[in-house]
Structure 1
Amino acid sequence: MASDDMPYDGRFAGDPDHVLQRVFGHDGFRGRQEEVVRHVVAGGSGLVLMPTGGGKSLCYQVPALCRPGVGVVVSPLIALMEDQVAALRQQGVAAAALHSDLPEGEARRILGDLHEGALKLLYVSPERLTLEGMLSRLDMLPIAMFAVDEAHCVSQWGHHFRPEYRGLGVLSARFPRTPRLALTATADPRTVEDIRAQLGLAEDPVFRGGFDRPNIRIEARPREQERAQLRTLLRETAGQAGAGIVYCGSRARTEQTAEWLRADGQDALAFHAGMDAGAKRDAHRRFSRGDSVIMCATIAFGMGIDRPDVRWVVHLDLPRSPESWYQEIGRAGRDGLPARALLLYGAGDIALARHRVEESPAAPEQKRIERQRLEAMVAIAEAATCRRALLLRCFGEEPPSDANGVAVPCGNCDVCLAPPSLFDGTVAAQKLLSAVLRTGRRFGVAHVVDVLRGRLTEKVAQFAHDRLPTFGVGKDLSDAAWRGVARQLVAHGALDVAVENHGELVPTEAARPILRGEQKIMLRAEIARPTGPQRSDRVGVPASGDPLFERLRDWRRAEAQAQSVPAYVIFQDRTLAEIAAARPRSLDQLGAIPGVGRTKLERYGAAVLGLLTEQ
């Protein structure tokens, strides 16, 4: 699997700036990248916390090319390894991946290249790396560094804990003088300290790059008519180049959602763990090669996503924690261009999530932590203040604030764009709770709302609920408003939903002080949410309507198909958009555009310039 292309020859070994420009086509580092790179080049270890799309991969790729020997990268998924190797080979770097899907002969060739010093970067799974045979091989070789990607997998507190990652602690004992760099985009303070302890990095620095993704508009709203709500998003993003992801809570729902989207004329695929392995590979291949598809998936479609032009991510169910949600919405806008994250949720989601935590076989301390994380997620979903600020605080990061210490509106979440109003909802809450009690705690929200609104339905008449004192006392609020009151009471813990039955509303002990008038409760008014184009003043927008941009994308698609690689490893949309805008007339001008490194310039420069001169 060694590269057939000219490998990076180490000409600028030791000089990160030259490697960055010559290999990756960038004139300068971003954020804390340079600090991390120079620390590792000098032989240091540490933990890197950077948001998805923040450039974590360069933090280990550049040092691996600067230092003598091979850089060994631990990666959790085969698809992720293969995409990153394909991208490196496009840049002229001799890279390979060792994983269980390789034919035996291919694996032997990679090991041969490794021992001959022909590789600069080797990607390997944690279970493969920690085999004694593999460690013994590495003992005999010069190792530039070890990088542990998706490092939150090592922590029992992490949202994607993988037991095989725990064995990576052997690296600090076996290779004490070799730099080790752990990297993750999602880790709260507890997880950070566990990663450092497990990987022997407790005495090494933590490089925090910030968790904010300002290019992603964050939105959350009650799930009223999810198909109509999803169709609205599709209309608002129509014409944008790129892909979308719909995360669903069950396998059946992924297939149902993909089916009705296809019936609507959308190019939609399903992806979940129960699918045939071949079908999953085909779906992932279509997604990764750059098609403008919608992937309807469970969280099984996770860390293997390395595509930069995902323009939106929708959740049809409440995520179990802010960490999970952040990881999943972080798959949008990795290229830094505007993207959207929309969460649709209901009261039943909250109740079901709480029920699952309580019924899980986890230890008491684990349950306590999971409850805390779930309640933090509920707070974000029901927020009346900036959602981004609440999300950042989950990771121990304080958002920008004014002179009084009040968080400055982020300007790119639905709450900041259309601030909701709060009202004294004590009387409304008392009416709803009373209706639930007087109807016998046996009915769901639809029937309770019918009673409050004074509708003499067949069911209301059957149970004589039109004779109750609460019949018709809620005509002043709409159906949507009453559903909002019920959902917010569930979020406050005053109502539960009997998820094991038919969604009956059940008051809790927390309802007593509200009913007695001992506790005032403020509720958020249900208001129309902002629609239309998202703000884009922070980042450039692809020239999706430019015929030249589309011609470049068509050329890239054909080139990627001919090489059987994802389209974005040839050039990202952002690079193509800048080429279309700048219209360079020479190789030197083309080479000055970010993302066009030396190898890509040599390989594709003539073809791109030819396209630019076509009329």
Structure 2
Amino acid sequence: MNNKEIDLHGALKKYFGFNKFKGLQEDVIRSIIDGNDTFVIMPTGGGKSLCYQLPALAKEGTAIVVSPLIALMKNQVDAIRGISAEQGIAHVLNSSLNKTEVNIVKSDIEKGITKLLYVAPESLIKEEYIDFLKSQKISFVAIDEAHCISEWGHDFRPEYRNLRTIIEKIDDVPIIGLTATATQKVQEDILKTLGMSDAKTFKASFNRPNLFYDVRPKTNNINSDIIRFIREHQGKSGIIYCLSRKKVEDIAQLLQVNGIKAVPYHAGLDAKTRSKHQDMFLMEDVDVVVATIAFGMGIDKPDVRFVIHHDIPKSLESYYQETGRAGRDGGEGYCLAYYAYKDIEKLEKFLSGKPIAEQEIGNALLQEVVGYAETSMSRRKYLLHYFGEEFDEVNGLGANMDDNVRNPKVKKEAQAELKNLLEVVKETNQKYKSKELVNTLIGKVNALLKSHKTDEKPYFGSGKNHDDKYWMALIRQALVAGFIKKEIEQYGVVKITDKGLEYIKNPFSFMMSEDHIYSENEDASISVNTKGGGGVADEVLIKLLKDLQKSVAKKNGVPPYAVFQETSLEDMALKYPITIEELKNIYGVGEGKASKFGKPFVELIAKYVEENDILRPDDFIVKSTGENSGLKLYIIQNTDRKIPLEDIAKSKGLAFNELIEEMQRIVYSGTKLNIDYCIDELLDEDQQEEIFDYFMESESDRIQDALDEFDGDYDEDELRLMRIKFISKVAN
């Protein structure tokens, strides 16, 4: 055993109290000690920071650590100071310091006390700091969260792009790039930008076998579903991610009202509050943090037991990074994401204001997220493939730890279809992205296909016996199976692999399962998802309630959905309300509905509960935060005064479709709204009668069905407003 090895293990024990290294740590540290440029890709929880902290402590001079977040630096500096008697062993140099503090930092570096200097890239640009650091002994520069360099990374920071030039100004020292998530595209970008193409690269496995991945449809029931999930994990720590600050505040408030210890965290809060909330979570004074992505980088809490995505993230890297904060101690980690294609459309809309190059990148990343959410194959295999790692879904660690594997969809033979797909990729000269390939297969012309005369080729429309969703699912599964791959330079362009060319010559059985289809209609009634062991609606009771719904509807001469919506019936079969008072707390049931139709329903449920010895979740009333009741009153009063709907929306800062959604909520829960004054301006008497009759006879109140039925005669807003009038008249 040579001295270096003894020193490394001695230093590990001396500074960190560990007897042995984890995973690739030792090889990485040796590479840094030997003065090599080094690139480390290691998932969250893999012990990434130790890779540069230990060599910094062991080598002569000061190591500069570039890090994007002040909170992250503070955490790490505190941790390092905790293992040394010398307060100055680690310092932060950023905009939060005053002149005196900056002088203390400089003095400690000059005396050789400081081994680790944490800086934000913005601070490193300052000439005074560059001049000072030039004159000091620097051991190496570590760039943490190196994916920030790449526009393809999920957290791009323009100031990171310039780091190479700045480092060269300071000294010719080794560079260490570290990231917890990087696709092939991002890896190439990092190495190129840092000018370290011959760096020694170490890549740990991205598989986190203790994490359970679950994707559920995002329905109107999402709030009660989240509360139920948290109550089932009582006393455990969790993070809920939302994409907007407003949503963070709303959800945190909703949880607090329902007796869950939760705090919000987002960049709009002042630094003091953010720091306080972070500490409350770390010290376990609260169980749940509701946050935007501003929260989490460098949060070293090992026992986070669940991570919930209220909104699906903008990229799979973000998703991986955020879910990776669960179960870092190797214990249970439940990753639950709610998905609705409507959210993806919102994100696409948001991108449309950006420069074209940024839009293209953003959309390509979003499509990967859609693929992950909609796939019916092993989510773990899909995710690991995205990061360039093979996974054995039969024997691999954590193989049965996702909803798709636990509840597999039926697989069908797709040998002929796969051969057809691969031939189309080949015949179109491997120049199309997935969307164009699907259009070619189903025979849908667009400008790009026309310009290449693809629509004149014999294979155009050769797959029209299946729909676009089928072909998209097959493309995803063929990618993961290695028959095709996505081009790195022109990202998203599909190329055929040698394995794919071989398959065309000698095809064999290929079993595929079709993707999940999550309804895109906000009124879609999707039963409470039971996959992840969340709350399970009582199927027997639902059947009884549906029969009752039909007979009550018949008696009142209205369609069944006008009595109670399906989502309301499912909520009843979950909470077993046995009084009118309890019924009012069911999703979509207000006072009006409860008193008009409720009696037979609560009687049926009471009888059912008694006969089947059911233990009712009596505490299971999801309380609302009350903020909507003010808005509800405002809408009722102003429609009574016949104020134009556009004006009502504007005065409350709502988009028109948001106002319609709010009005739908009001009438579906049993309160009347009179909006004849605005409908009369849009539609004549005959048109109104035609739509009214349609809703009276229709099996469903879904707007999509109505749009299909009228085939362009009426637009969506007209149908929605008529549905509000209809429910108001016949059901309330």
Q: Give TM-score, length-normalised by structure 1.
A: 0.66
Counterpart position of 1:204: 199
Q: CA 1:345–1:52 in 2, change beyond 3 Å: closer, same or farther?
A: same
Counterpart position of 2:401: 412
Q: Does structure 2 conserve the Cα–Cα contact (< 8 Å) formed by 1:322 and 1:377?
A: yes
Query: What CA deviation, in whole Å up to 9, does each residue of 1:318-358 have, x standing for no partner?
Result: 2111111112112222233221111012232132223333x
Matched, 1:370 2:359: no
Counterpart position of 2:321: 327
Pair member with larger Rg: 2
Partners of 1:335 and 1:78 lie apart in 2 by: 24
Mean CA deviation greater in 111-120 or 410-419: 410-419
Matched, 1:155 2:188: no
Q: CA 1:109–1:368 in 2, change beyond 3 Å: closer, same or farther?
A: same
Q: CA deviation at 1:317?
A: 1.0
Counterpart AA for 1:392: L
Matched, 1:223 2:215: no
Counterpart position of 2:454: none
Q: CA deviation at 1:31?
A: 1.5
Query: What CA deviation, in whole Å up to 9, does each residue of 1:179-198 have, x standing for no partner?
Result: 21010012211111111111
Partners of 1:270 and 1:161 lie apart in 2 by: 24
Partners of 1:184 and 1:235 lie apart in 2 by: 34
Matched, 1:284 2:278: yes
Counterpart position of 2:523: 446
Counterpart AA for 1:361: K
Q: CA 1:58–1:454 in 2, change beyond 3 Å: closer, same or farther?
A: same
Matched, 1:361 2:438: no
**For 2:181, which of 182, 186, 203 is the aligned residue?**
186
Partners of 1:256 and 1:29 lie apart in 2 by: 43
1:273-352 → structure 2 map (5 Å cutoff): 273-352=267-346
Q: Secondary structure of the residue that 2:329 maps to in structure 1?
A: coil
Q: Does structure 1 conserve the Cα–Cα contact (< 8 Å) formed by 2:280 and 2:286?
A: no
Q: CA 1:118–1:379 in 2, change beyond 3 Å: closer, same or farther?
A: same
Q: CA 1:302–1:15 in 2, change beyond 3 Å: closer, same or farther?
A: same
Counterpart AA for 1:411: N
Q: Does structure 2 conserve the Cα–Cα contact (< 8 Å) formed by 1:78 and 1:304?
A: no
Partners of 1:55 and 1:305 lie apart in 2 by: 13
Q: CA 1:470–1:177 in 2, change beyond 3 Å: closer, same or farther?
A: farther
Counterpart position of 1:122: 117
1:133-148 → structure 2 map (5 Å cutoff): 133-148=128-143
Q: CA 1:393–1:466 in 2, change beyond 3 Å: closer, same or farther?
A: farther
**For 2:27, which of 30, 35, 44 is the aligned residue?**
35
Q: CA deviation at 1:157?
A: 1.8
Q: Does structure 1 conserve the Cα–Cα contact (< 8 Å) formed by 2:209 and 2:398?
A: no
Q: Does structure 2 conserve the Cα–Cα contact (< 8 Å) formed by 1:80 and 1:306?
A: no
Matched, 1:168 2:163: yes
Partners of 2:18 and 2:379 lie apart in 1 by: 33
Q: CA deviation at 1:386?
A: 0.8
Q: CA deviation at 1:287?
A: 2.6
Query: What CA deviation, in whole Å up to 9, does each residue of 1:443-492 have, x standing for no partner?
Result: 95538999xx9647499996645866996578xxxx9xx99x99xxxxxx
1:388-467 → structure 2 map (5 Å cutoff): 388-400=380-392, 410-421=399-410, 446=523, 455=560, 457=562, 464-465=690-691
Larger helix share, 1 or 2: 2
Q: CA 1:428–1:398 in 2, change beyond 3 Å: closer, same or farther?
A: closer
1:466-485 → structure 2 map (5 Å cutoff): none
Q: Does structure 2 conserve the Cα–Cα contact (< 8 Å) formed by 1:126 and 1:164?
A: yes
Q: Secondary structure of the residue that 1:262 maps to in structure 2?
A: helix
Matched, 1:264 2:258: yes
Mean CA deviation greater in 277-286 or 68-77: 277-286
Counterpart AA for 1:23: Y
Q: CA 1:427–1:257 in 2, change beyond 3 Å: closer, same or farther?
A: farther
Q: Secondary structure of the residue that 2:196 maps to in structure 1?
A: coil
Partners of 1:230 and 1:448 lie apart in 2 by: 17
Q: CA 1:14–1:215 in 2, change beyond 3 Å: closer, same or farther?
A: same
Q: CA deviation at 1:176?
A: 6.0
**For 1:45, which of 22, 32, 37 is the aligned residue?**
37
C-alpha RMSD over aligned residues: 3.7
Q: Does structure 1 conserve the Cα–Cα contact (< 8 Å) formed by 2:31 and 2:200?
A: no
Q: CA 1:409–1:338 in 2, change beyond 3 Å: closer, same or farther?
A: closer
Counterpart position of 2:229: 233
Q: Does structure 2 conserve the Cα–Cα contact (< 8 Å) formed by 1:318 and 1:349?
A: yes
1:47-62 → structure 2 map (5 Å cutoff): 47-62=39-54
**For 1:68, which of 56, 60, 64 is the aligned residue?**
60
Q: Secondary structure of the residue that 1:15 maps to in structure 2?
A: helix
Q: CA deviation at 1:49?
A: 0.4
Identity %: 37
Q: Does structure 2 conserve the Cα–Cα contact (< 8 Å) formed by 1:13 and 1:66?
A: no
Q: CA 1:80–1:445 in 2, change beyond 3 Å: closer, same or farther?
A: closer
Counterpart AA for 1:232: R
Q: CA deviation at 1:130?
A: 2.8
Matched, 1:98 2:98: no
Q: CA deviation at 1:61?
A: 0.8
Counterpart AA for 1:339: G
Counterpart AA for 1:306: D
Partners of 2:525 and 2:207 lie apart in 1 by: 41
Gaps of 5+ in 1: 1-10, 431-442, 487-499, 505-615
Q: CA 1:355–1:280 in 2, change beyond 3 Å: closer, same or farther?
A: same
Q: CA 1:227–1:401 in 2, change beyond 3 Å: closer, same or farther?
A: closer
Partners of 1:428 and 1:63 lie apart in 2 by: 58
Q: CA deviation at 1:87?
A: 0.9
Counterpart AA for 2:224: A
Q: CA deviation at 1:96?
A: 1.6
Q: Does structure 1 conserve the Cα–Cα contact (< 8 Å) formed by 2:68 and 2:120?
A: yes
Q: CA 1:63–1:463 in 2, change beyond 3 Å: closer, same or farther?
A: farther
Q: CA 1:275–1:170 in 2, change beyond 3 Å: closer, same or farther?
A: same
Partners of 1:137 and 1:300 lie apart in 2 by: 32
Q: Does structure 2 conserve the Cα–Cα contact (< 8 Å) formed by 1:454 and 1:466?
A: no
Q: Give TM-score, length-normalised by structure 2.
A: 0.56
Gaps of 5+ in 2: 414-463, 469-519, 527-548, 550-557, 564-666, 669-686, 706-715, 721-732
Matched, 1:248 2:325: no
Partners of 2:718 and 2:321 lie apart in 1 by: 32
Q: CA 1:33–1:503 in 2, change beyond 3 Å: closer, same or farther?
A: farther
Counterpart position of 1:439: none
Q: Does structure 2 conserve the Cα–Cα contact (< 8 Å) formed by 1:17 and 1:28?
A: yes
Q: CA 1:409–1:53 in 2, change beyond 3 Å: closer, same or farther?
A: closer
Partners of 2:718 and 2:339 lie apart in 1 by: 18
Q: CA deviation at 1:392?
A: 1.4
Q: CA deviation at 1:314?
A: 0.7
Q: Does structure 2 conserve the Cα–Cα contact (< 8 Å) formed by 1:98 and 1:123?
A: yes
Q: CA deviation at 1:69?
A: 0.9
1:419-568 → structure 2 map (5 Å cutoff): 419-421=408-410, 446=523, 455=560, 457=562, 464-465=690-691
Q: Does structure 2 conserve the Cα–Cα contact (< 8 Å) formed by 1:456 and 1:466?
A: no
Q: CA 1:156–1:118 in 2, change beyond 3 Å: closer, same or farther?
A: same
Q: Does structure 1 conserve the Cα–Cα contact (< 8 Å) formed by 2:138 and 2:171?
A: no
Q: CA 1:136–1:502 in 2, change beyond 3 Å: closer, same or farther?
A: farther
Q: Does structure 1 conserve the Cα–Cα contact (< 8 Å) formed by 2:40 and 2:179?
A: yes
Partners of 1:14 and 1:81 lie apart in 2 by: 30
Partners of 1:276 and 1:418 lie apart in 2 by: 44
